[in-house]
Chain A
Amino acid sequence: PNVKLVTSDNEEFVVDFRIAKMSVTVSRLMEAMNMSETDDASLLSNSIPLPNVTKAVMARVIEWCEKHKNDEPKEEKENDKRGRTTHVVSDWDKEFLKNDEFGRLCQLMGAANYLEIKGLFNDISQTIANMIHGKKSDEIAEMFNIHCDLTEAEKKEIRKKTAWCED
């Protein structure tokens, strides 16, 4: 059976029921609208509105879901033994995300969060964290095209605290 998803820019995506169920948000909406896998009429007559996702982003989300629809549900460890939150990004996922510029990753992260697709959300969070890891503040600013709007006084105060921390 298929489910119709409608994006903020009115694009309709028809996806497999299993893919739709990968999103906790979509699952809840289907439940609220009495849509069930065994009731074709309910699936045909309804569509799920997703006002926070554009068609370009939705297409990427569906591509990710297609690849992972047969995955066994895995238990994520919030913190590893060393106390750091970690998530293993598979080779396919690395390849999938590697050409997305930062802005696109942020949009995808926002969509994964809204749709509650934990695997995709963690893949993106870990990927962005890896980009930031070990970088100095000016390198982070340059990489993400951040315009520094801190005043000199604020910078001085931060540097004072930073110096204490780095000492």
Chain B
Amino acid sequence: VLKMADSLAAQFAQLELPSLSWIDELPEELVWKIMDFTPESVFNMRLTCRKLKSCSDSYAMLPSSVPSIDRLRVDVQTKWCPATSMSKPSVICVSIVITSKSFKAQLFKSRLIQVYPLIMSLEGFKKRNNRREKTHHFDWEIEYEKVEDLLVTSIGRCVGKRIDYATLLDLDDFIARTVVAKIAGGKLFGTLVVQGISKLTKEIGNVLKSLTTDEIGLFDLFVGEIED
């Protein structure tokens, strides 16, 4: 019996099995490593086969270390209604503007659509492409009462670890502070500009601490007065 088993094993070893593509045999972590070197290709890789789709999807969901945006601006704006509809009150909105160089924008969009698929039909969201400057712009104008935790957290997950230039305004405002903490907390900044604080309170101080725990190239802070 042992001889027969040995002989079968030898025959089995000689069988030529239909070979899978090497991509199928590469462990997911190694495919992610390749994606780290060419993040803009992630979307095209998704349509090749189920394995690469799965790798691309999980890559988009990883705690993002690869940065996907360059500039971030958060502020609070009042949206005035047209003169023809005087009966409607003006609406206070949180405005989030993200700018990303084209090669990174693909990764940002790829991450965003994965973690927040509702983005495709989200009201108050616009994206545009500046071909001359080779940048993409993502604008959210969210009514004050409709700021959704999942959306803001998702944006924070998608931007990656580093933001080249961030301008954060109106941190006096509670909602703006919450949005800023969720999007920009714990990131690395090339330049961080914080403006429009009339009075530096403990709450604002806590948000600033969450922004300044890591390396910052340049930090500009404009404050009216400091609370005792």
Q: Which of B90-118 contact A (CB under 8 A)?
A: 101, 103-104, 106, 109-110, 113, 117
- Interface flags for A133-167 (1: CB within 8 Å of B; 0: not) read 11111101100111111100011001111101111
Q: Are B34 and A129 in contact (CB under 8 A)?
A: yes
Q: Which of B37, B49, B162 contacts A129 (CB 8 A)?
A: B37
Extra contacts besides A109-B26, A137-B46, A154-B50 (18): CB < 8 Å = A79-B162, A83-B70, A83-B162, A86-B37, A106-B22, A110-B30, A126-B37, A132-B38, A133-B41, A145-B22, A146-B48, A146-B49, A148-B48, A150-B47, A150-B49, A158-B46, A160-B120, A165-B43
Residue with the highest number of chain A CB atoms closer than 10 Å, among B37, B49, B68: B37
Which residues of A lie under 8 Å from residue B44 when comparing CB positions?
132, 135-137, 140
Q: Which of B32-55 contact A (CB under 8 A)?
A: 33-41, 43-50, 52-53
- Count chain A residues whose beta carbon lies closer than 8 angstroms to a beta carbon of B: 48
Count: A-B pairs, CB below 8 Å: 126
Say yes or no: A141-B48 contact (C-beta < 8 A), given A109-B26, A132-B38, A154-B53.
yes
User: A103 on the interface (CB 8 Å rule)?
Assistant: yes
Q: Are A109 and B48 in contact (CB under 8 A)?
A: no
User: A77 on the interface (CB 8 Å rule)?
Assistant: no
Say yes or no: A159-B37 contact (C-beta < 8 A), given A79-B162, A110-B30.
no
Q: Which of A12-52 contact B (CB under 8 A)?
A: none
* 20 pairs of residues in contact across A and B, judged by CB atoms under 8 Å: A83-B70, A83-B104, A84-B37, A84-B66, A84-B103, A85-B36, A85-B66, A106-B25, A107-B22, A110-B26, A129-B35, A130-B38, A134-B41, A137-B47, A140-B41, A146-B23, A147-B21, A149-B49, A164-B113, A165-B43
User: A82 on the interface (CB 8 Å rule)?
Assistant: yes
Q: Which of B21, B22, B47, B117 contacts A162 (CB 8 A)?
A: B47
User: A55 on the interface (CB 8 Å rule)?
Assistant: no
Q: Which residues of A contact B (CB under 8 A)?
A: 78-79, 82-87, 102-103, 106-107, 109-110, 113, 121, 125-126, 128-130, 132-138, 140-141, 144-150, 154-155, 158-162, 164-167
For residue B41, which residue of chain A has the nearest CB?
Answer: A132
Q: Which residues of B contact A (CB under 8 A)?
A: 21-23, 25-27, 30, 33-41, 43-50, 52-53, 65-68, 70, 101, 103-104, 106, 109-110, 113, 117, 120, 127, 160-162, 164
- In the complex, what distance in Å separates the CA atom of A45 from the CA atom of B41? 49
Which residues of A lie under 8 Å from residue B34 when comparing CB positions?
125, 128-129, 132
Which residues of A lie under 8 Å from residue B35 when comparing CB positions?
129
For residue B109, which residue of chain A has the nearest CB?
Answer: A165
CB distance from A144 to the nearest CB of B (A): 5
Which residues of B lie under 8 Å from residue A134 when comparing CB positions?
41
Q: Are B50 and A149 in contact (CB under 8 A)?
A: yes
Residue with the highest number of chain A CB atoms closer than 10 Å, among B30, B39, B48: B48
Q: Are A144 and B21 in contact (CB under 8 A)?
A: yes
- In the complex, what distance in Å separates the CA atom of A163 from the CA atom of B13? 46
- In the complex, what distance in Å separates the CA atom of A136 from the CA atom of B43? 9
